[in-house]
Structure 1
């Protein structure tokens, strides 16, 4: 029995309003990289579904850049640490680690020989440093600024030049190595967000919150011109990226546009309008070979089409915040994965839940049924993929779990309350319970509902018409129930509890215990049945995922460190050989299971 990672659906970049996002590109032009939380995400530019995630930072990673050789990546985090690691091995072996400044790192630049690194940000004693990559010894100093430095770049030709951009409304120009401060660039009137040298080294530009972009001589730092005359953009400019031939560049702005500039003429050739919503503000960009990429405040990654500025060629959507739950649904014979996160919706249009989605399932009417901390249940037609304002059921208390069965039945377990729904309407409510309900499940036959309690018992109810009748029967578990589900054929009920035990019960035999499964070191939080009804998966706070075999508790597959930084918060099966996991790292992974 074995498990093998098949796909990673990586998270989007984590965005902050008014803060530029640096996207790195690899020198061969195949990959691009960005950060989210403690992760560095490397994605294939042609096929973004191919992704790799580096998770070795102890603090939130803020920027990552490839060395010009392509063999290493330097990534910097909020604590001021820089890690230089290998890109060629799957393990990403750490080469060196330094702490050049004592606060958040905002940008990193390498010299073209991959030997020197400049790092800038928000330090306490200093705002930047330049050092040798293999020894950490200094090769000059980054001085001349009174506030944090947002951006740094190094000319990729000798003689080397270094330029910085800062919140003190100035840029600085350095000669070297060793790098020495030459003079201050005082052309901007507000924060300077980005500085970038052209690939041929002849020019560099600075972009600022004042909507202006200035072009300077790459060798002596003299001002050449400003792009677009008075102003380049109506809003602040957060990022610029040069074309490989150094004749053009793209700029990303808070005015929700990206502009393509002919630098020689100083004019915009094309303007891309990326929307009207606040989340359409453009905070990062990258020109990689023929690809023009930008990042919206929503975290969406847009591939721009030079020949059709009206709409992007493609937009990569996904999650940028922690994922709480997921489910799989077959549509036209193809499986689709649906995942729920904090707040905003991903691929459904319309107004979605306003708070964290805590559980989701799909019903026989092709609807995604979700419950959320916003105290609602929602029924969303999967074929229409948009939220409907009418199919929202308001609950008296916050729902923790939802399950569905044939005949339009849903069971919602809320704090201190159990609600039976039929055809999207509440038909029966149980209050004043003598236990705290945690999770519920309806038998696929639609005749029985079970509710797992914090009292370590599973309570049985029969569904009679539109009512729930307490059968006066409980099933004992080892501890408080954290999750449970019926097998798809209704033959078994599986439950996990806070005493780290998974138990299966035989339904036909009056819910007698069939097997007990031990292996988790910490509380299991979720379980999911395989379509073959012979296996089920559990995941726990111990970062482990187990796949168990009915009738043989010793025959199991164990997967440690599935998502490395966080426990697995959601499990679902695509088919009997494919398991999907998700976590608070905002990524989704697909695994191939062999028995």
Structure 2
């Protein structure tokens, strides 16, 4: 038996309102870069479903940029560490790691020969540094600012200049190498969020929170004009990106627009209206070959259409925050459903990675568990104290399909006949056809997990002391029949698809009971070294998978506990938070890295 990586559906860029998001450009034109949490995401610009995730930073990564040669990527984090790593091999071997200053790095710039790097941000004693890529030796200083530096860029033609923009509203110009301060410009009245040289080096622009974009001579630093006259945008400008021929640029703004500018004329020739909502604010942009990209406050990656500025060519969606739940319809295994910490639910084509969200307003807090019932509804429970039913054909939320719980639901399970069981902090709730039909209070134990038998006649509930409470479903009531026991606090439990087995996980051991044999213990499965957080049965009911806080994932064989396959660090930085079988040979996993991975299982 073996477990092989198939592909990953990557997370979106992490974004913060009012803070610029930097996208990295591949000089070869194939990929683009962004960051989320401790990860750097490399995505194919033609087919964004093709992605890689670099996970070697110990702290939250803030920015990543390709070297002009295309052979290396430099990525930096909130602690001030910068890692330079290889792009030509899958292992992404580390070339160097430096710490030019202690504090958040907000932007990176390379010289045209890929030999020198400038980093800027919020250090304890300084706001920037320039050093040699091979040795880390200083090649000048970054001065001229009294507050955090938000953005930096280096002219890619000689003579070489470094420009920086800061919260002190100033733009500084340094000449080098070694880099020495030359002068400052004080044309902005708000934070300077982005500074960028044109590819030919003849000009550079600065963009600020005051809504202005100023254009300067690339060799003297003298101001030429202000794009759009008095104001380029009605909101702060967070990103600018030049066209390859240096004649045009795009700008992204908090006024929910992206503008394409004719730099020579100083006028906007196209205004892309991204939407009316606050989440449509634009925090970054990238012009790479023929592709114009922008980043929304929602984290969405928009491919802009010059011929239809009110509707992007495509919008890449997904998750920004940690994913806690996953589901696959047993009769339609082409779609994967995932729910995250912020209440967001996404659905994915399991092969292409094409994805979208449901229409309307959904959960307002973590989606803890989700399952698909026989009626084709996604049934979800959330820390917002609700259970929701979502029609998968309509793909939209409905206020009439929300059931309010009296305490927070931990998990939800479904059975034929419209039955559902919600295990809440203080009670159990039996639902039928989207309505509460029975509530069991005063349990005398703390319920942790629960599941319904596929026959719809039995409910199993596990508690914090290792006891399994079996209830018979009689009409619209729950009646406790018997209790079983395992070695420790129960974390997850689930019946097999055919109803023959009940798998129960305690802190480190999985116990499988045979239902037809009056719940006799069939076997115990050992291998995890820490709390087991997730479990899922395969469609053939002969195998199941588990994920633990020990960062390990196992695929087990029911009839032979020694026949198993183990995978360490499936999601590198975090444990597997949820599992689902797409088919008998494909396993989907999620984690706190906000990505979805698929694995091929060979028996």
TM over 0.5: yes
**Separation in 1, partners of 2:250, 2:271:** 10
**Matching residue within 389, 399, 413 for 2:423:** 413
Indicate if the aligned counterparts of 2:580 and 2:589 stay in contact, CA closer than 8 A. Answer: yes
Say yes or no: does 1:351 pair with 2:361: yes
**Residue in 2 that maps onto 1:219:** 219
Runs of 4+ that moved beyond 4 A:
none
**Residue in 2 that maps onto 1:313:** 313
Indicate if the aligned counterparts of 1:393 and 1:425 stay in contact, CA closer than 8 A. Answer: yes
**Residue in 2 that maps onto 1:336:** 335
**Residue in 2 that maps onto 1:531:** 539
**Residue in 1 that maps onto 2:2:** 2
**Residue in 1 that maps onto 2:458:** 448
Any idea what the Cα deviations from partners look like across 1:14-58, whole Å, max 9, x if unmatched?
100000000001101110010001000000001111110111111
Indicate if the aligned counterparts of 2:509 and 2:525 stay in contact, CA closer than 8 A. Answer: yes
Give the C-alpha shift of residue 475 in structure 1. Answer: 1.2
Any idea what the Cα deviations from partners look like across 1:342-373, whole Å, max 9, x if unmatched?
22434011111111111110101110101111
Say yes or no: does 1:491 pair with 2:490: no
Any idea what the Cα deviations from partners look like across 1:503-549, whole Å, max 9, x if unmatched?
11110000001111000010111100000110000111001110000
Give the C-alpha shift of residue 327 in structure 1. Answer: 0.6
Give the C-alpha shift of residue 249 in structure 1. Answer: 0.2
**Matching residue within 488, 505, 525 for 1:517:** 525
Alignment of 1:546-565 (within 5 A): 546-565=554-573
Give the C-alpha shift of residue 339 in structure 1. Answer: 0.5
**Separation in 1, partners of 2:87, 2:477:** 60
Residues 403/298 of structure 1: CA separation in 2 closer, same or farther (3 Å cut):
same
**Residue in 1 that maps onto 2:349:** none
Residues 229/63 of structure 1: CA separation in 2 closer, same or farther (3 Å cut):
same
Give the C-alpha shift of residue 330 in structure 1. Answer: 5.8
**Separation in 2, partners of 1:546, 1:140:** 52
**Separation in 1, partners of 2:104, 2:308:** 38
TM-score, reference length from structure 1? 0.99
Alignment of 1:376-395 (within 5 A): 376-395=386-405
Indicate if the aligned counterparts of 1:169 and 1:186 stay in contact, CA closer than 8 A. Answer: yes
**Separation in 1, partners of 2:101, 2:196:** 22
**Separation in 2, partners of 1:253, 1:148:** 21
Tell me, what secondary structure is at the counterpart of 2:221? coil
Give the C-alpha shift of residue 571 in structure 1. Answer: 0.2
**Residue in 2 that maps onto 1:589:** 597
TM-score, reference length from structure 2? 0.97
**Separation in 2, partners of 1:120, 1:158:** 22
Give the C-alpha shift of residue 307 in structure 1. Answer: 1.3
Alignment of 1:142-157 (within 5 A): 142-157=142-157
**Separation in 2, partners of 1:186, 1:480:** 63
Tell me, what secondary structure is at the counterpart of 1:513? strand
Give the C-alpha shift of residue 416 in structure 1. Answer: 2.2
**Matching residue within 364, 370, 374 for 2:380:** 370
**Matching residue within 574, 579, 586 for 1:566:** 574
Any idea what the Cα deviations from partners look like across 1:74-95, whole Å, max 9, x if unmatched?
0010001111011111111111
Alignment of 1:83-482 (within 5 A): 83-329=83-329, 333=332, 335-345=334-344, 346=346, 347-471=357-481, 473-482=482-491
**Separation in 2, partners of 1:149, 1:434:** 58
Tell me, what secondary structure is at the counterpart of 2:399? coil
Tell me, what secondary structure is at the counterpart of 1:481? coil
Structure 2, gaps ≥5 residues long? 347-356
Indicate if the aligned counterparts of 1:428 and 1:467 stay in contact, CA closer than 8 A. Answer: yes
Aligned residue pairs total: 592
**Residue in 2 that maps onto 1:68:** 68
Indicate if the aligned counterparts of 1:79 and 1:104 stay in contact, CA closer than 8 A. Answer: yes
**Residue in 1 that maps onto 2:354:** none
Indicate if the aligned counterparts of 2:429 and 2:436 stay in contact, CA closer than 8 A. Answer: yes
**Residue in 2 that maps onto 1:79:** 79
Indicate if the aligned counterparts of 1:330 and 1:336 stay in contact, CA closer than 8 A. Answer: no
Any idea what the Cα deviations from partners look like across 1:56-85, whole Å, max 9, x if unmatched?
111100000000010100001000111101
